[in-house]
Amino acid sequence: MNVTVTVNGVRYSRDVEPRTLLVYFLREHLGLTGTHVGCDTSTCGACTVLLNGKAVKSCTVLAVQAEGAQITTVEGLAQGDRLHPIQQAFWDEHGLQCGFCTPGMMLAAVDLLQRNPNPTEEQIRHALEGNLCRCTGYQHIVNAVQAAARAMSAAVGAPSGGE
Amino acid sequence: MAVTQVFGARVRRREDPRLIRGTATYTDDLTLHGLCHAVFVRSPHAHARIRRIDTSRAKSAPGVVAVLTGADLEGKVNSIPCGWQVPNCDLKTPPHPPLARDKVRYVGDAVAVVVAESRAQAHDAAAAVEVDYEVLPAVVDMEAALRSATLVHDDVPQNRVLLWSVKGGDFEAAAREPGVRVVRQRLVNQRLIPNAMEPRAAVAHYNPGSGELTLWVTSQNPHIARVILSGVLGLPEHKLRVIAPEVGGGFGSKIPVYPEEAVVSHLAVRLGRPVKWVESRRENYLGTIHGRDHVTDAEMAVRPDGTVTGLRVRTLANFGAYLSTAAPAIPTILYGLVLSGPYRIPNIDCEVTGVFTNTTPTDAYRGAGRPEATYVLERMMDLAARELGLDPAEIRRRNLIPKDQFPYTVATGITYDSGDYARALDRALELFDYRRARADQEAARRQGRYLGIGLSTYVEICGAGPSKVVGSTGFSGGLWESAVVRFSPTGKVTVFTGTSPHGQGEETTFAQIVAQELGVPLDDVEVLHGDTDSILMGWGTYGSRTTPVGGTAVYLAAQKVKEKAARIAAHQLEVSADDLVFENGRFHVRGAPDRGMTIQEVSLQAYLAWNLPEGMEPGLEGQANWDPSNFVFPFGTHVCLVEVDPETGQVRILRYVAVDDCGRVINPLIVDGQVHGGIVQGVAQALWEFAQYDQAGNLLTGTMSDYAVPKAAWFPKFECDRTETPTPVNPLGVKGVGETGTIAATPCVVNAVMDALSPFGVRHVDMPLLPERVWRAIRQSKGGSAA
Ligand code: FES
Ligand code: FES
C-alpha cells in the first residue's frame, strides 16, 4: 500500500506492507532512527512522535493510518543549529543519560507544553506517565521541562517562540 | 583559551548533542548493504525434552535465508563459558549451548534461529518452526529445587551450583555472651528485571577477503565480549572486532556474553551476509539476565547497649537455568565479603548456597550483591533497634567505623580505604530535620495517620579492582584499565579509554580530567570508547569502576603527555625542564612569563619533529594502564519519610534525603544524575518491582505492562547532598557513584514502611511492599482477622 506523509516538513511517499507500524516506517523506510523502540506493549513511550501536533506512540499506529499526516520526530525539533528549547533544556539540566528514552520524552514534553505552557511539577510528572526512563530517576527530566517552559514563555511574542 | 577549574564543575555533557538531536547510532540504527534479519525461536516450556524440530515449513517461507537448530551449530559455535569461576565452593559449570540441544531449561531458551530478508519475514517464518517437546516437571522454588528429583542439569546433583562461605571471628561465641540478644529474621530479596530501555541487539558483518568479523553489540564491555566470543567461535582474536556503539543503558544486563551474539556472529560468516538481531521487550524479559533473587535467614547478635557483635547469614541464591558470565561472583564475593557494611562487626559467618532452577539466568543487576548484603544488614539493624527499644539512628551511630580507624579491615577480610561515616549520617539527619520529623510522626499518629521514617547507612565496595585480587576470586580476566591521550598536530586531543560508558557521562568527565591536567579547552578533547580495534584493552563499565579505574588511567596518561611536552618545550626554549612552569596550557620559563609556548605549539613541534631532543621519538601521546591497589568505598546515609494508608495498604514517599560520599567529585551534575537514577531503582525494588514465576516456570510478569517499571509520578523530588572524603587509592581521590542509590534506597524505604506499621505490631513484610501485602500485614496483626 502507498503511504504519503509529511515528516519534519518533508513529503515522503512509500509503498509499505499494510501491517507496517509507523515507528518502523520512520526508522526503516525513511531512515529516521532517532525514534526508538523500547517495548512491544505500548508501555515505554520511546517511540513517541507528534502526529498532527499531538504526541502519539508510533508503535501503536499503522503507517497507513498516518496517510496525509504531518509528523514531527526528534530529528525535526531543531532549526538547523538552533536547538528547540526542550532540547536545550534537556542538555542544560542533564535530563538524559543513555539517551534512549530521550526523543520520546522530549516530544511528550513538547505536547504537554503546548497544552499547558506553565505546568507544575506534579502536572509534569503525571504528563510523562506514558514515558519510561530507567536511567535518570526523572528528577532532571522534570527540571528540564520546567526550564523549557520558562524559556518558551519568555520567548512568547518573539517570532521564533515555541517553534 | 584560559582554562581554569574544570575538575569539579557542573559541565553540560558532551555526549548530549547527538542524543538530543536523534543522530546517535544505537545498534539497531545500523544498516548495511545486504543486511538480513535473525529471529530466535524460543521455548514456551520451562523444562522439556526436545523430541524433534521440523524446520521445513519455515525454510520455504517467503524471504527466508536460513533456519538453523542446535545440531547445525555443533562444532561451530561452542558452549557459552562462565567468566568467573569462584574457587573453593564446588562450583558446577554445566555447558550452555548457544541453541538448546536435547533439553530446554527455561521459558525463553532459544532452540532455533531464522534468518530472512526482512524482520517481518523472519518473524513469520519463526512461527512456522515446529518443535515437538516432551514437557518435564519444572523446578522453580529454590528450596524445592534442592530437594527435588528433577534436575536442571543431569550432572548437577540437588541442583546445587555452589556452596560458598566466609567466616571471620566466632559468631557462636558472640551469640553465647551473657546479655547478648540474637535477633532473627528470614528476608526475601526478590528477583528483578533490569529493564535497560534499549533492548539487546547485535549486527555482525564478515569480510571474507580479510577474514575479519565485525560485531556491533549492546555491550558494557566489548573487549571481554571479544575474548569470550573468540573462544566460542574459534576465531583468532585479531580477526574479531567488537564495537559497542551507542548503548541505551545496561545496569549489568549487558555485561554477559549471550548465546544470540555468538549465533549472529556465526551466521554472518556462514551466510556471507551481514545479519542483524534485535531483541523484543518480551524476549528481553525472558532471555536477558535477571537480578537478585535471594532468600536469607539472618541472625544478628547485639548487646543491650546496641553494640552489634555478630552476624550470621544463610542465603539461597537463584542462578536460573545456566551460569551467566559473572554470575558466580554476585552472591558470593560481592555479597558475603561486604556484609559488615559501615559497621564494626567482629564476628561474621556467611554461607551461600547457589541453586539452578528452570528460570531465566541471573547475573549482575545494578549493585550486584551489594544491595542484597546491605538489605540484610540494614533490615537487621532496624529489627535489633526495635527489639532493644533504641532509635534506629542511634544504633547505627554506635556501630559505625570511626573516621580515625581507616584503613579498616572488617571481619570478612577486606580493607576499607577512607571514610567519615558519622559525618554523612549527621548531615542526613540534619537535612531531614530528624528530631522534628519524629515529633511530627507522633503528632500524625494521634490523628490516625501512619508516617514512617527509614534510614540506611551503607558502604559500597566498588572500583574493581586490583587484578591480582579479582584473579584470586576466580575472575578469568584483569580489572585494570587502559587509556591513551593523544594530541594531534593541530593541538586537539583524543582520549581512548578501555571503559565503555553507556549513559554514565565519561565522555564529559574524562574530558574534564584531561582539560584540567593539560590546560586545553574542554571542547578540544574527544573521548572514544567501545571499539576493540582502536582501543588497546579494557574491561568495561560496571561496578562503579569507570571513573576510579578508567579515569585514573586517563589522568596518568595525561601526565605522561605533560612530561614529554615539557621536555620538548624545554629543549626548544633552551632551558632545563625543571625551569619550566606549566600554567593554563602553556609552558613558560620560570621568572620569564613571556618566554614560553603553548601545549598546542609543542604538539605541532612534536609532529614536525624538526627540532626534538636527541633520541626522542616524534609525536605526542601518553599511554597508561592503571591497576589499582585496592577497591574504593563510597558511603553515605539515606533517610526517607513515607505514609501508609491503612485502609488500602498504599505507600507514598513524602520525602527522600540522600547524603552520599563518593570522594572527590569531577562533575556534580552527573553525580546527582547517577544518585537519582539509583534511588529510583532501589525504591522500586522496595515497593513495586518483582519478576514473578508460577510453579510451572512461566514468567507471570512477562511483559513491560505487567512489570512495574517505575514512573515519574511515583516519586517526590529527592533532596541530595554530599560529603567529600577523598580516597587514597587513586591520585584523583575519586570513588564510584553508579550504584550508591540502588544500594541505599531499598532498605531505607522498607525500614520506613515498617516504622509506619509499628503501631500495628507488624515486624516485617517481604518486598515488594505492594498495597495488598501491606494491607494483609495490617489485617493479620489486628487480632488474627487473617484476610
Ligand atoms: S515502543 Fe514502547 S511504547 Fe512504543
Ligand atoms: S536516559 Fe536512559 S532511559 Fe532515559
- Please indicate if any CB of chain B lies within 8 Å of the CB of A90: yes
**Protein fold of B368-463+631-786:** Aldehyde Oxidoreductase; domain 4 (3.30.365)
| Cβ contacts of B280 on chain A, cutoff 8 Å | 40
Comparing CB atoms, the residue among B280, B281, B673 nearest residue A136 is B673
Would you call B20 and A98 a contact, using CB atoms and an 8 Å cutoff?
no
**CATH number, domain at A115?**
1.10.150.120
Comparing CB atoms, the residue among B251, B282, B712 nearest residue A138 is B712
Contact (Cβ atoms closer than 8 angstroms) between residue B632 and residue B731:
no
Per-residue pLDDT, B784: 41
Best probe residue, ligand 1, of A42, A74, A100, A101 (max atoms within 8 Å of C-beta)? A42
Q: How far is B17 from chain A (nearest CA, A)?
A: 8
Q: Which residue out of B12, B27, B197, B666 would a mutagenesis test of the A interface target, given it has the greatest number of A Cβ atoms within 10 Å?
A: B197
Gap between the Cα atoms of A36 and B245, Å rounded: 15
Residues with CB under 6 A from ligand 1: A 37-39, 42-47, 57, 59
Residue with CA closest to ligand 1 atom 1:
A37
**Protein fold of B31-136+197-249+254-287:** Aldehyde Oxidoreductase; domain 3 (3.90.1170)
Q: How far is the CA of A47 from the centre of ligand 2 (A)?
A: 13
- Which numbered ligand comes closest to the C-alpha of A141? 2
Contact (Cβ atoms closer than 8 angstroms) between residue B540 and residue B220:
yes
Look up residue B764 and give its three cell numbers: 516485617
Q: Are residues A96 and A124 in the same domain?
A: yes
Per-residue pLDDT, A157: 56
Judge whether A8 lies within some domain: yes
Residues 505-544 of B with CB under 8 A from A: 505
Q: How far is A52 from chain B (nearest CA, A)?
A: 20
Per-residue pLDDT, B529: 97
Contact (Cβ atoms closer than 8 angstroms) between residue B616 and residue B719:
no
Q: Residue B63, preceding bond cis, omega within 30 degrees?
A: no
Would you call B718 and A139 a contact, using CB atoms and an 8 Å cutoff?
yes
- Residue finishing a domain among A49, A76, A103: A76
Q: How far is the CA of B196 from the centre of ligand 2 (A)?
A: 8
Residue by residue, DSSP assigns B211-231 as TEEEEEE--S-HHHHHHHHHH
Judge whether A94 lies within some domain: yes
Q: Are residues A38 and A93 in the same domain?
A: no
Would you call B715 and A137 a contact, using CB atoms and an 8 Å cutoff?
yes
- Please indicate if any CB of chain A lies within 8 Å of the CB of B15: yes
Q: Are residues A92 and A135 in the same domain?
A: yes
How many Cα atoms are found within 13 Å in the side-chain-facing hemisphere of B178? 0
Q: Are residues A47 and A99 in the same domain?
A: no
pLDDT in tens, B488-518: 999 999 999 999 999 999 999 999 999 999 9
pLDDT in tens, B327-360: 999 999 999 999 999 999 999 999 999 999 999 9
| Cβ contacts of B712 on chain A, cutoff 8 Å | 124-126, 128-129, 131, 133, 138, 141-142
Contact (Cβ atoms closer than 8 angstroms) between residue B115 and residue B37:
yes
Q: Are residues A6 and A72 in the same domain?
A: yes
Sign, CA torsion B70/B75/B76/B78: positive
CATH 3.30.365.10 residue window(s) in chain B: 368-463+631-786, 480-626
Provide the whole-model pTM. Answer: 0.97
Q: Which residue has the cell 499503522?
A: A62
Gap between the Cα atoms of B586 and B594, Å rounded: 11
3-state helix/strand/coil string of B45-90: CCCEEEEEEECHHHHCCCCEEEEEEHHHHCCCCCCCCCCECCCCCC
Buried b (16+ CB within 10 A) or exposed e, B183-203: bebebbbbbbbbbbbbbbbbb
Would you call A40 and B703 a contact, using CB atoms and an 8 Å cutoff?
yes
H helical segments located in B587-655? 599-608
Q: Are residues A95 and A152 in the same domain?
A: yes
- Please indicate if any CB of chain B lies within 8 Å of the CB of A15: no
> Which residue of chain A has the CA closest to B29?
A33
Structural domain of A100: 85-157
Q: How far is A139 from chain B (nearest CA, A)?
A: 6
Judge whether A163 lies within some domain: no
Gap between the Cα atoms of B602 and B568, Å rounded: 7
Q: How far is A35 from chain B (nearest CA, A)?
A: 7
- Which numbered ligand comes closest to the C-alpha of A100? 2
Per-residue pLDDT, B4: 61
Please state the atom number of ligand 2 nearest to the C-alpha of residue B196: 3
| Cβ contacts of A142 on chain B, cutoff 8 Å | 712, 717
Look up residue B658 and give its three cell numbers: 540522600
Look up residue B203 and give its three cell numbers: 549486527
Per-residue pLDDT, A163: 36
Per-residue pLDDT, B1: 40
Judge whether A59 lies within some domain: yes
Q: Give the other-Cβ count within 10 Å of B315's Cβ.
A: 25
Largest CA distance in chain A: 45
Gap between the Cα atoms of B194 and B709, Å rounded: 9
Look up residue B733 and give its three cell numbers: 581521590
Q: Are residues A6 and A71 in the same domain?
A: yes
Q: Which residue out of A15, A50, A134, A143 would a mutagenesis test of the B interface target, given it has the greatest number of B Cβ atoms within 10 Å?
A: A134
User: Residue B231 contacts by C-beta under 8 Å, 6 or more apart in sequence?
Assistant: B78, B81
User: Residue B5 contacts by C-beta under 8 Å, 6 or more apart in sequence?
Assistant: B516
Judge whether A20 lies within some domain: yes
Contact (Cβ atoms closer than 8 angstroms) between residue B523 and residue B512:
no
Would you call A137 and B718 a contact, using CB atoms and an 8 Å cutoff?
yes
**Interface ipTM > 0.95:** yes
Look up residue B249 and give its three cell numbers: 543503558
Integer distance in angstroms from the first to the last C-alpha of chain A? Answer: 33
Comparing CB atoms, the residue among B15, B22, B505 nearest residue A103 is B22
C-alpha closest to that of B196 among B138, B254, B276 = B254
| Cβ contacts of A43 on chain B, cutoff 8 Å | 281, 703-705, 709
Residue A82 CB–ligand 2 contact under 6 Å: no
Would you call B281 and A44 a contact, using CB atoms and an 8 Å cutoff?
yes
Q: Which residue out of A17, A97, A121, A141 would a mutagenesis test of the B interface target, given it has the greatest number of B Cβ atoms within 10 Å?
A: A97
B230: left (phi over 0), alpha (psi -120 to 50) or beta: alpha
Q: Are residues A132 and A66 in the same domain?
A: no
Comparing CB atoms, the residue among B16, B247, B282 nearest residue A91 is B16
Would you call B249 and A87 a contact, using CB atoms and an 8 Å cutoff?
no
Q: Give the other-Cβ count within 10 Å of A9's Cβ.
A: 9
Contact (Cβ atoms closer than 8 angstroms) between residue B328 and residue B85:
yes
- Residue finishing a domain among A34, A52, A76: A76
Strands A2-7 and A10-15: antiparallel
Q: Which residue has the cell 535471594?
A: B294
Q: Which residue has the cell 570513588?
A: B735
State CA B774 to chain mean position distance: 30
Per-residue pLDDT, B2: 43
Please state the atom number of ligand 2 nearest to the C-alpha of residue A135: 2
Look up residue B391 and give its three cell numbers: 532509635
**Protein fold of B480-626:** Aldehyde Oxidoreductase; domain 4 (3.30.365)
Q: How many interface pairs between A and B have CB atoms less than 8 angstroms apart? A: 182
Residue B141 buriedness (CB in 10 A; 0-12 / 13-18 / 19+): middle
B486: left (phi over 0), alpha (psi -120 to 50) or beta: beta
Integer distance in angstroms from the first to the last C-alpha of chain B? Answer: 71
- Residue finishing a domain among A76, A100, A125: A76
Would you call A132 and B711 a contact, using CB atoms and an 8 Å cutoff?
yes
C-alpha closest to that of A144 among B719, B504, B16, B501 = B16
Q: Are residues A89 and A108 in the same domain?
A: yes
Count how many domains chain A has.
Answer: 2
Q: How far is A32 from chain B (nearest CA, A)?
A: 8
- Please indicate if any CB of chain B lies within 8 Å of the CB of A102: yes
Q: How far is the CA of A39 from the centre of ligand 2 (A)?
A: 14
Judge whether A46 lies within some domain: yes
Gap between the Cα atoms of B605 and B595, Å rounded: 16
Ranges of chain B whose pLDDT falls below 70: 1-4, 783-787
**CATH number, domain at A20?**
3.10.20.30
Residue by residue, DSSP assigns A91-129 as HHTT--SS-SSHHHHHHHHHHHHHH-SS--HHHHHHHTT
CATH 3.90.1170.50 residue window(s) in chain B: 31-136+197-249+254-287
Mean pLDDT over all residues of chain A? 95
Look up residue B567 and give its three cell numbers: 621536555
- Please indicate if any CB of chain A lies within 8 Å of the CB of B703: yes
Best probe residue, ligand 1, of A49, A59, A131 (max atoms within 8 Å of C-beta)? A59
